[in-house]
Structure 1
Amino acid sequence: MAVSNPYQAYQENSVLTASPGDLTLMLYNGCLKFLNLAKKAIEEKNITEKNTNLQKAQNIINELMVTLNMDIEISKQMMALYDFVRIKLIEANVKNDLAALEEAESIMIEFRDIWKEVIKLNRQQTYTKDGQV
């Protein structure tokens, strides 16, 4: 079977071969992408696009919520923040509220940036532990 879209095949392969940490980073980046598209749609008064992109962002937040290990204390704090973001996204969708969307976006940017640092530190520790330095 021939691949009709090489970019799509690359994306699918990168998801299938990604580490759990990289998958989480992909979720954060995907959420931010949909939030940016929703923001643009609100500004252009495109209700259908706004709704579609905010629902996609909400689905990502839901996925992040179900993957939390609630036996770890920090997960409880993250759950509360994810729930706050989810509520802000619903508010942004119902009221076309850019401020609510931007508040959710700022939290997701912070999560994404922290997660990037965690991955970087983890890779450095793994690299050092394996005697590569």
Structure 2
Amino acid sequence: MKQDRYRKQYNQVQIQTANKGKLIVMLYQGALKFMKKALQDMDKKDMEQKGNALIKAQDIILELLYALDQEKLNSGNELALNLQRLYLYAYRRLVHANLRQDEEAIKEIISIMTNLVEAWETVVASDGSMVTTPSSQSGLTITG
């Protein structure tokens, strides 16, 4: 029990001290962790835990969606619009996977999110200037 409390405290400190790019990477990593857990739960035939894991992954994807820079979306910024479409697609596929027990849909979104997290890790490692200040509606703004 104490270990869980310490782990949660450590994670809170990481989140509170991370730059915006690192927070985005952490969101992707969290979504990937829950999607992989959902696959493991499907193998164990534990549909309740699978459902819980997929809902957590969906929540993270929604957070990424809400964090997109609304000004860039409204102005038609291609990267922001593509990320918006991708997040909506990923969300819908995970809902489908949850309802239909579709492992392939989960694997497809894992592949997409793996590519995205690798790209963001490169951006964060090489140039943090691509990440702007937070938007008013969430703690992050993803620029495009």
Under TM normalisation by the shorter chain, which class is it? 0.7 to 0.9
Identify the residue that residue 118 of structure 1 maps to in structure 2.
123
Q: Which has the higher contact order (CA 8 A, sep 6+)?
A: 2
Q: Which runs of 4+ in 1 moved over 3 A?
A: none
Q: Any gaps of 5 or more consecutive residues in structure 1?
A: 124-133
Q: Any gaps of 5 or more consecutive residues in structure 2?
A: 129-144
- Give the deviation of 1:113 after TM superposition: 0.4
Q: Can you list the C-alpha shifts for 1:23-71, whole angstroms capped at 9, x where unaligned?
A: 1111000000000000111111111001000000000000000000143
- Structure index of larger Rg: 1
Q: Which amino acid aligns with 1:39?
A: L
Task: Kindly indicate whether the alpha-carbon contact (under 8 Å) linking 1:58 and 1:89 is maintained by their aligned counterparts in 2.
Answer: yes
Identify the residue that residue 132 of structure 2 maps to in structure 1.
none
For 1:65 and 1:4, how far apart are their aligned partners in 2? 29
For 1:70 and 1:104, how far apart are their aligned partners in 2? 24
- Give the secondary structure class of the aligned counterpart of 2:71: coil
- Give the secondary structure class of the aligned counterpart of 1:79: helix
Give the TM-score taking structure 2 as reference length. 0.80
Residue 77, structure 1, aligned to residue 82, structure 2:
yes
Q: Can you list the C-alpha shifts for 1:105-125, whole angstroms capped at 9, x where unaligned?
A: 1111011000000101115xx
- Give the deviation of 1:4 after TM superposition: 8.1
Residue 63, structure 1, aligned to residue 68, structure 2:
no
Task: Kindly indicate whether the alpha-carbon contact (under 8 Å) linking 1:65 and 1:79 is maintained by their aligned counterparts in 2.
Answer: yes
Give the TM-score taking structure 1 as reference length. 0.86
For 2:16 and 2:109, how far apart are their aligned partners in 1? 28
State the identity as a percent: 31
For 1:37 and 1:4, how far apart are their aligned partners in 2? 18
Identify the residue that residue 138 of structure 2 maps to in structure 1.
none
Number of equivalences:
122
Q: 1:38 to 1:4 in 2, by over 3 A?
A: closer
